[in-house]
Amino acid sequence: MRNFEFFEPETIEEASDLLTKYNGTAELLAGGTDLIIEMKARTATPEHVISLEKVPGLTGIDYDEESGLRIGALTKMRRLENDPIIRERYTALAEGAGEVGGVQIRNLATIGGNISHGSPAADTAAPLLALSAQVKIAGADGERTVPIETFFVGPGQTVLKTGEIVTAFECPARSANQGSQYIKQKIREVMDLAFVGVASSATTDNGAVSNVKIGLSAVAPTPLRATDAEAIVNGNSLTTELLQQAAAAASAQSSPISDLRCSAEHRREMVGVLTRRTLQAAVDRAQG
Ligand SMILES: Cc1cc2nc3c(=O)[nH]c(=O)nc-3n(C[C@H](O)[C@H](O)[C@H](O)COP(=O)(O)OP(=O)(O)OC[C@H]3O[C@@H](n4cnc5c(N)ncnc54)[C@H](O)[C@@H]3O)c2cc1C
């Protein structure tokens, strides 16, 4: 690992100013489970490392029946996985967080780092897409909010501009007649990245399914929503035929690659299978 200058700013403004000052040679440090690995491998060689550890207000989970859920960017996967409100109301996110690495990794890894790293296979990306998350961002020009579906630009690339820091994620409040599920397909049972990840969320009311959101990861250059499949299901009762149509639409909207772990064809097929399974589970969970 090459030498670097280490900073521990105590405000978000200070952190943003440092990022701007050292633009191009600085990296933010959250849990370090991506960054430190890359620095050791020398695929990242920052001259300045800016820790977010001492910046107040970046950790924690708050839920309000009116305003919904707020998760600080520095909140650890382990906390998300075990939080009672996340498990009950935002189940897909608890499942996604619980899929990241092993327990030791999840004790360090943050949700902000997982999303800001911009990996198409990030395990919290598909759940956040399905749960209509908004990303809160702070920078020199103040704060802005972007929907999670517009946050990812390409592999390893996000909408973050010079000096910008993700501060939190917000999701709308959820009621008892809403359900969600995330399923990850991986080659090895333990500690492996997804080769396909699908999260679905739905609301049920007198048999009709609404507010359907489907998030896909690891099957395109960025995590994405399967909007065509959502449109097929929204407003209808869930039948076997409808599930099959939605599965086919989600597969068609994915654009996976073949690599050492899996062929594009298998990934596309699994998008359909997991769309069917997660949609059915989301509706079952919504119905209690
Ligand atoms: C053994 C192992 C197994 C893993 N398994 C998985 C897995 O199964 N699924 C999965 O999704 N990931 C996995 N990962 C990757 C990693 O653990 C996650 O992506 C993790 O959530 C990253 O968070 P972090 O806090 O450690 O980020 P860091 O490493 O601290 O940061 C990652 C990147 O994001 C930037 N960043 C961090 N926080 C912010 C912020 N608030 N605003 C703007 N930029 C920010 C940093 O500058 C850096 O470029 C694994 C990693 C290891 C080492």
Sheet strands side by side (includes 178-185)? 178-185, 196-205, 208-217, 224-225
pLDDT given at position 190: 63
Distance of CA 273 to the CA centre of its chain: 21
Q: Which residue has the higher pLDDT, 186 or 104?
A: 104
pLDDT given at position 140: 87
pLDDT given at position 189: 66
Using alpha carbons, list the distances in angstroms from residue 265 to 9, 165, 202, 251, 276. Answer: 47, 37, 27, 10, 17
Domains and CATH numbers, the chain: 5-51 (3.30.43.10), 61-171 (3.30.465.10), 178-286 (3.30.390.50)
Nearest residue to 202 via CA among 215, 184, 220: 215
Cα(108) to centroid(ligand 1), Å: 9
Nearest residue to 248 via CA among 218, 264, 226: 226
Contact 127, 90 (CB under 8 A): yes
Collapsed DSSP state (helix, strand, coil) of residue 150 = helix
- The tokens describing 32, both together, are 């370090």
Q: Would the pLDDT of 269 be above 70?
A: yes
Nearest residue to 250 via CA among 269, 223, 222: 269
Using alpha carbons, list the distances in angstroms from residue 57 to 60, 62, 167, 168. Answer: 8, 12, 8, 9
Residue to probe by mutation, ligand 1, list 19, 27, 28, 34, most atoms within 8 Å of CB:
34
pLDDT given at position 162: 96
DSSP state for residue 161 in the 8-state scheme? P
Which residue is closest in CA terms to ligand 1's atom 19?
Answer: 114
Collapsed DSSP state (helix, strand, coil) of residue 240 = helix
Tell me the residue type at 51.
S
Residues 6+ apart with CB under 8 A from 71: 60, 61, 80, 111, 168, 169, 170
The full DSSP string for 219-237 is SSSS-EE-HHHHHHHTTB-
| Ligand 1 near 98 CB (within 6 A) | no
Bridge partner residues of 180 (DSSP): 201
Mean model confidence pLDDT for the chain: 95
Question: H-helix or E-strand containing 97?
Answer: helix 91-98
pLDDT given at position 260: 82
- The tokens describing 211, both together, are 């507010």
Contact 182, 198 (CB under 8 A): yes
Nearest residue to 170 via CA among 107, 97, 111, 215: 111
pLDDT given at position 187: 74
**Average pLDDT in the 28-47 region?**
96
Query: Of ligand 1's atoms, which has the minimum distance to the CA of residue 101?
Result: 5
Contact 122, 223 (CB under 8 A): yes
Does this model's pTM top 0.95?
Answer: yes
**Average pLDDT in the 53-71 region?**
97
HSE-CB for 35 with a 13 A CA cutoff:
25
pLDDT digits (tens, 9 = 90+) for 142-183: 999 999 999 999 999 999 999 999 999 999 999 999 999 999
Cα(100) to centroid(ligand 1), Å: 10
pLDDT given at position 288: 84
pLDDT digits (tens, 9 = 90+) for 193-252: 878 999 999 999 988 999 999 999 999 999 999 999 999 999 999 999 999 999 999 999
| Ligand 1 near 168 CB (within 6 A) | no
pLDDT given at position 194: 75
